[in-house]
Structure 1
Amino acid sequence: MSSFEEKFEQAVKDGVFPGAILMARDVSGKLDYAKVFGSLSMDKDAQPLQLDSILFLASMTKLLTSIAAMQCVERGLISLDTDVGDLIPSLAAQPILHGFDANDKPILSKRKNAIKFVHLLTHSAGTSYDKMVPMLEKYRTQIGQPENRATMENKCVYPLLFEPGTHWSYGTGTDWTGKIIELLTGKTLQQYMDENIFTPLGISRIQFTPYVTEEMKVQAASIALRIPDGKLVNLPRSKNIDFGDLECFGGHGGYADLTNYFKILESLLLDDGKLLSPSSTAIFFSPHLSTPSRKAINTIFAQPEISAVFVGSFPESVEYDWGIGGVVLRENGEKRGKGTMAWSGMPNLFWWVDREKGVCGLFGTQVYPPGDGKVGEMIDLFEREVYERVEGGGGGAKL
C-alpha cells in the first residue's frame, strides 16, 4: 500500500469520512486507478463500502442534465440563446427581489432581460437556492413556505436575484433545465437519460429519486453529518434534501454507482462521440459567462466565507468561468490545465475532466456539510496524487 493510500486508511480511522471511493484515468490508459476505503455508514457493524455502492450525487447530477441539454441543442430542439420564458412560465413570471424596505416589505421589480437557456445552464439567470440566501428565505417565510418541497412548483418557484446575464449565483438553473428537456422530448428526465446517456455507455445504475430501485436502496451508503464536536453521525434518510421528491430534479436528484458515473467522465475526456459530437463537446467545455457574470463568479470564488461551501480546491490565483457542465479554468492552475471542467456534490463528492493534460478523476464520499475542511484536504491530496502519477507515468489498481 502506498503512503497516499495509508493516509486514506488513517482518515477513515480518524473520522474524516465513513468511506471514500477514488477513480482516475488518463487518455493513454496508463493511469487506470480505482480504490475504495472504509464503510457504508457510521454504524459499528457497517458493511465495507464497495466501488459499486450507491451514493447520493446531489449537484453531481447537474453534469448529467447539462449533457442532456447539450444533446437537445445538438439535435436542433433548442439553442443556447433561446428565450425559455414560454417553456417555464412559472419561473418567467417571477420578479427580481432587491431586499426589504423600512416596513419590512419586499422590494420587487419586473424582470426586463430574457431568460436564455444558457443562463440556466451557467447559473447566470438570477435563480438561486432559497436555503442559501437569507433574503430569499425571509421572502418565502413571509408569503408562506409550502408544506412540502416534493415538486418544482413548490421547491423552486420564487423571485430572481438579478437580471439574467448580469451576475452569477449558484442555484436551481439546472433543475429548470431538466424541466425544459422533459417538455422538449416528451419524456421524464430518467427516461431521456436512460435512452440517450446511460444505454450508449452500458450504464444501468444511475437513477433519480423516484426511480431508485430496492436493490440500489440496499446498496446505498448512509450520509454522515459532522456535528459541532467534530464527530460524524448518520443522517436520517428523512432529513436529506431529496426526501419525498416526486419528480426528477436535474440539479440534485441523482443516485449512482460511481463506476457508472465514471464512464461519463471517461467519455467526455476521450471525446469518443458516444454522448456528444466533437463540436458539441468543444462548446460544452467552452466558457459561456457574460463579462459581468464572469466578474461576479470570480469575486464570489475569492470570498472565503462563500467559497468555503464549495467542494474542492479553487485557488484565488486562477480565473474561472462556467461552461455548460461545470466551472472551467480560463488559465492553467497549479495542477489543472487550462479549460479543465470540474464540479461537485453536496455530500463532498468531486469530479474533474482536464482535457489539456488528458486526465479525469472522481472522489466520492457521503459527508455533510458541504465544503467540509477535513474532507477537502483529502480531495486535494487525491488530486495531487493523480497529477503526480500522470506526470510520472504511474498506474494503479485496475477498475
Structure 2
Amino acid sequence: MRNSAEIDQALRRTSDAGEIPGVVATVGTSREVIYHAAFGRRDLSKDQPMTTDSVFWIASMTKAITAAAAMQLVEQEKLSLHEPIGKLLPDLANPQVLEGFGADGEPKLRPARTAITLLQLMTHTAGFCYDMWNDSMATYLEKTGTPSITTCKRAALRVPIVGDPGTRWEYGTNIDFLGKAVETASGQRLDAYLRDNMFAPLEMNDTAFKIRDSMRTRLVGMHVRGPDESLRPFPFELEQEPEFHMGGGGLYGTASDYLAFARMILNKGRSNGHQVLKPETVALMSQNHIGDLNMTKMKTAAPPYSNDVDFYPDMPKKWGLSYMINTAKTPEGRSAGSLAWAGLANSYYWIDPVRDIAGVIMMQVLPFADRKCLDVFAAFERGVYCHCKPSADENDVIN
C-alpha cells in the first residue's frame, strides 16, 4: 500500500522502543482490505516475531459478535428485543438488586422494580456489572464465594444486579446472558452457533472459544505493565473446557478475522455472497438505544487488570447493539456516529460508516486502557484518517 510509511513508522517505533511487546493492525473498507501489518514480538520471553496471522485473546471484542448472533435470531422471531428475557431464561425472571451490605457484612438485596429485556442486556442497562469496575460487586463475590466471570463457571452467572433495569448504563456481564439466550433460542451451544452462522460465512477461520493446535502455534503471550512502566510476561489463558462459553469475552482470534466481521457491518450485513444480517438490522444496531442515558466513566476496582476507563471524557457517548457510539468527531478523525469497542488486553476496533473505514489493532497487555497502548491506537487511527479522502465515495481509501 502506498503512503503507509507513517503508520508503519508509528507502530514499529513503539514496539522497537519496548513500549509495547508487539502489535497487529489492519484496516478495510466495504470493498477491500487496505492495510495489514505486524511489528514487534508475540512474547517477550521468546524470539518469535509478531506476524499478521497471530492469535489474540480478543476479550470483550467478543460482545459485538454475540450481539450480531442474537440479532440473527431476532430477525427469525426466535428472540424479542423488548419482551422480558425471564420468559426465556428463568434465572433472570426475578432479578435481585444489591443495595449494599448490612452491619454484619451480609449483602442487602431487594426485588428489581422492572423486568430485564434483551435490549437492556445488549446496551448494558440491565443492571449487571463487572466486579473489576464495581467495588460493591467485588465485595459481594468475596463475601459469597462467587467465582469471577472469567472462570467460565456457571456459578459466576448467579449474581444480583446493581441497579433497576433501564435506569443507568453500567458495563457488565450482560452479554454473557445474551449468549445464553442465543443458546436457548437456537438449540445450539454458543460455540457451534457462532461457527455455523457467523464464522463460516465470514470466513473467520481463526476465531474460536477453544484454542486449536493450529491457533496455539501463533498465540500471542499476555504481558503486564508494572508501576515502573516495564513489561513482563504474564501466564494467562481462559479455561479451555468451560462450563459455559463466555459470550461477553471468551473468543480468541486474529485481527484479520475481526476485520472481516467489521467489514460485514460496513457492508450492511453482507459478506462473501452471504447476507449475514439484514441491512435494516445493521442500521438498528448502529443507533443509540440508551436514550438520554450516557456511557459513564468506568472507575477501576482492580488496578492490576484495568485503569480507569473514560474515552473522550468531554464527549457524551451512547450505546448501540452493542457498541460505543461517539456523538462528535474524534481528534483522530473518526466520524460522529461511528461504532467502537475494545478487549481487556488492549485490543481495539472502530467502524466508521460515514467514511467507509473500519480498523482493528491488537496488543496483549494488561492493565486495560494502558496509556502507551492507547497512544499507539491513536497514532494508528490518525495515520489512517490522514490518508482518507473526506467523503465516503468510491475513492475513499488509504492510498
* Structure 1 residues 242 and 382: CA distance shift in structure 2, 3 A: farther
Fraction of identical pairs, as percent: 28
* Structure 1 residues 91 and 394: CA distance shift in structure 2, 3 A: closer
Structure 1 residue 13 displacement after superposition: 2.3
Structure 1 residue 389 displacement after superposition: 1.0
**What residue in structure 2 maps to residue 224 of structure 1?**
223
**What residue in structure 1 maps to residue 393 of structure 2?**
none
**What residue in structure 2 maps to residue 381 of structure 1?**
379
When normalised by structure 1's length, the TM-score is: 0.89
Please list every run of at least 4 consecutive aligned residues from structure 1 whose deviation after the TM superposition is greater than 6 angstroms. Answer: 303-307
Say which SS state the counterpart of residue 8 (structure 1) adopts: helix
In 2, Cα distance between the equivalents of 1:28 and 1:255? 25
Q: Deviations over 1:161-216 (max 9, x none)?
A: 000000111110001000110010011111111111111122221101xx321121
Query: Which structure has greater helix proportion?
Result: 1
Which residue, out of 227, 246, 249, partners 2:246?
Answer: 249
Say which SS state the counterpart of residue 11 (structure 2) adopts: helix
Runs (5+) with no aligned partner, structure 2: 391-395
Residue 263 (1) aligns with residue 260 (2): yes
1:42-81 equivalent positions in 2, closer than 5 A: 42-43=44-45, 45-81=46-82
Does the 8 Å contact 1:115/1:164 carry over to 2?
yes
Say which SS state the counterpart of residue 80 (structure 1) adopts: coil
Q: Deviations over 1:297-341 (max 9, x none)?
A: 2x437x79999544xx83233221110021112344342222200
- Kindly provide the amino acid, as one letter, of the partner of residue 82 in structure 1: E
Residue 165 (1) aligns with residue 166 (2): yes
Q: Deviations over 1:343-370 (max 9, x none)?
A: 0000100000011121110011111110
Does the 8 Å contact 2:290/2:319 carry over to 1?
yes
In 1, Cα distance between the equivalents of 2:149 and 2:53? 32
In 2, Cα distance between the equivalents of 1:178 and 1:88? 11
Worse-superposed segment, 78-87 or 384-393? 384-393
* Structure 1 residues 366 and 107: CA distance shift in structure 2, 3 A: same
Residue 18 (1) aligns with residue 17 (2): no
**What residue in structure 2 maps to residue 366 of structure 1?**
364
**What residue in structure 1 maps to residue 143 of structure 2?**
142
**What residue in structure 2 maps to residue 336 of structure 1?**
334
In 2, Cα distance between the equivalents of 1:226 and 1:317? 27
- Kindly provide the amino acid, as one letter, of the partner of residue 375 in structure 2: E
* Structure 1 residues 272 and 117: CA distance shift in structure 2, 3 A: closer
Structure 1 residue 242 displacement after superposition: 4.9
Say which SS state the counterpart of residue 37 (structure 1) adopts: strand
Does the 8 Å contact 1:166/1:290 carry over to 2?
no
1:310-321 equivalent positions in 2, closer than 5 A: 310=309, 314-321=311-318
The count of corresponding residues between Structure 1 and Structure 2 is 383
Q: Deviations over 1:366-385 (max 9, x none)?
A: 11110100111010111111
Does the 8 Å contact 2:266/2:353 carry over to 1?
yes
Runs (5+) with no aligned partner, structure 1: none
When normalised by structure 2's length, the TM-score is: 0.89
Which residue, out of 321, 324, 331, partners 1:327?
Answer: 324
Say which SS state the counterpart of residue 207 (structure 1) adopts: coil
* Structure 1 residues 244 and 190: CA distance shift in structure 2, 3 A: closer
Worse-superposed segment, 330-339 or 80-89? 330-339
Structure 1 residue 285 displacement after superposition: 0.4
Q: Deviations over 1:262-281 (max 9, x none)?
A: 11111111225332111111
In 1, Cα distance between the equivalents of 2:151 and 2:290? 31
Say which SS state the counterpart of residue 300 (structure 1) adopts: coil
* Structure 1 residues 184 and 304: CA distance shift in structure 2, 3 A: closer
- Kindly provide the amino acid, as one letter, of the partner of residue 387 in structure 2: R
